[in-house]
């Protein structure tokens, strides 16, 4: 079955309000009318409403980089799924390697966030991926399988229509190293086999698996051309209008 490519820009802790608006407005002009590819930005939380307003009327969606698994309360510094939706967002990125490795989020905590985000009506992009030492030890799929199994625990087959998996080899994030198209395809195919085991063939065939990890205009066409690579979760290259535009157009 054909899956619509989904390319999203993770801005991480970058941009000011003005540079974020300039970026959003620039991209609205260059790619905002594309509907063959699903497009989204993940700006910093403080700018979500402004960026949602800026891209309104285009085909670009907006998501939060994180959320907490409670509705409200004494959780200083956190934001809830309801708050994310209130800004106009429809996506949330969960389990990014920086949340796991810099902030110590566990698979179990990420699972609680996934379940809450889905119950709040958000589309979840669940990021998974192995460290360099894990790849070198031959543990790539062991790590991905654990992160996916625990991350999706309690998520039924029907809810999977609101889940995208983002495979991000941690050793390729912001390092300039990229998994070869063959490495990416091999891991994506194995993730799809795992989804078939956890759910069924229909869910496995319908779920999009993005590649993240130094995808840029020069390698995007080859990566996006792999049969099981269904888009990209883009870091650095999403912060420049010309780079992200070229990357998205490589998927057309």
Structure tokens at 199: 């759910």
Nearest to 188 by CA among 156, 159, 215: 215
pLDDT attached to residue 1? 59
Instruction: Write down the catalytic residue from 96, 105, 123, 130.
Output: 96
In this structure, what DSSP letter does residue 76 have? Answer: T
Give domain status of residue 94, yes or no: yes
Distance CA 44, CA 170 (A): 21
pTM to 2 decimal places: 0.98
Instruction: Tell me the mean pLDDT per 10 residues along the chain, length 252.
Output: 93 98 98 98 98 98 98 98 98 98 98 99 98 95 98 98 97 89 97 98 98 95 98 97 98 97
101 counts as catalytic:
no
Q: Tell whether 196 is covered by a domain.
A: yes
Q: Identify the CA nearest to 84 among candidates 128, 39, 37, 118.
A: 118
The total of structural domains in the chain comes to 1
Residue 76 has what pLDDT?
A: 98
Distance, in Å, from the CA atom of 186 to the CA atom of 228, rounded to the nearest integer, reads: 8
Q: Return the number of other C-beta atoms located less than 10 Å from residue 42's C-beta.
A: 28
The pLDDT value given to residue 176: 87
Of 76, 122, 103, 86, the closest CA to residue 13 belongs to 103
Closest C-alpha among 62, 12, 3, 11 to residue 32 = 62
Find the domain containing 188 and state its range.
6-249
In a domain, 82, yes or no: yes
Q: Quick one: tokens of 42?
A: 């993940």
> At 164, which CATH number?
3.20.20.70
Q: Is 1 domain-assigned?
A: no
Contacts of 199 (CB under 8 A, 6+ apart): 157, 160
Q: Does residue 37 lie within any of the structural domains?
A: yes
Does 80 reside within a domain? yes
- The active-site residue, picked from 98, 123, 168, 188, is 168
Residue 203 lies in a domain: yes
Nearest to 61 by CA among 79, 83, 39: 39
Annotated active-site residue 168? The verdict is yes
Quick one: pLDDT at residue 174?
86
Establish if 67 belongs to a structural domain: yes
Phi, psi angle pair for 19, to nearest 5°:
-70, -30
Q: What share of the chain is helix, strand, coil (3-state, %, to 5)?
A: 45, 15, 40
């Amino acid at each position: 079955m054909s899956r619509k490519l989904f390319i999203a820009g993770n801005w991480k802790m970058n941009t000011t309000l003005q540079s974020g608006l300039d970026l959003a407005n620039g991209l609205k002009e260059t790619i905002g009318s594309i509907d063959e590819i699903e497009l989204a930005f993940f700006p910093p939380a403080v700018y979500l409403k402004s960026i949602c307003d800026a891209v309104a009327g285009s085909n670009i969606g907006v998501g939060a980089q994180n959320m907490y698994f409670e509705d409200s309360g004494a959780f200083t510094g956190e934001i809830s799924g309801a708050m994310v939706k209130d800004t106009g967002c429809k996506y949330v990125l969960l389990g990014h390697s920086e949340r796991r490795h810099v902030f110590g989020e566990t698979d179990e905590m990420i699972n609680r966030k996934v379940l809450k985000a889905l119950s709040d009506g958000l589309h979840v992009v669940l990021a998974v991926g192995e460290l360099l030492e894990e790849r070198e030890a031959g543990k790539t799929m062991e790590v991905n399988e654990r992160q996916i199994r625990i991350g999706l625990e309690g998520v039924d087959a029907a809810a999977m229509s609101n889940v995208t998996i983002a495979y991000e080899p941690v050793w390729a994030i912001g390092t300039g190293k990229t998994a070869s198209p063959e490495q990416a395809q091999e891991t994506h195919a194995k993730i799809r086999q795992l989804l078939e085991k956890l759910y069924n063939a229909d869910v496995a065939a319908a779920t999009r698996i993005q590649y993240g990890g130094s995808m840029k205009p020069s390698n995007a066409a080859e990566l996006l051309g792999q049969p099981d690579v269904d888009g990209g979760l883009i870091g650095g290259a999403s912060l420049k209008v010309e780079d992200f535009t070229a990357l998205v157009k490589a998927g057309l």
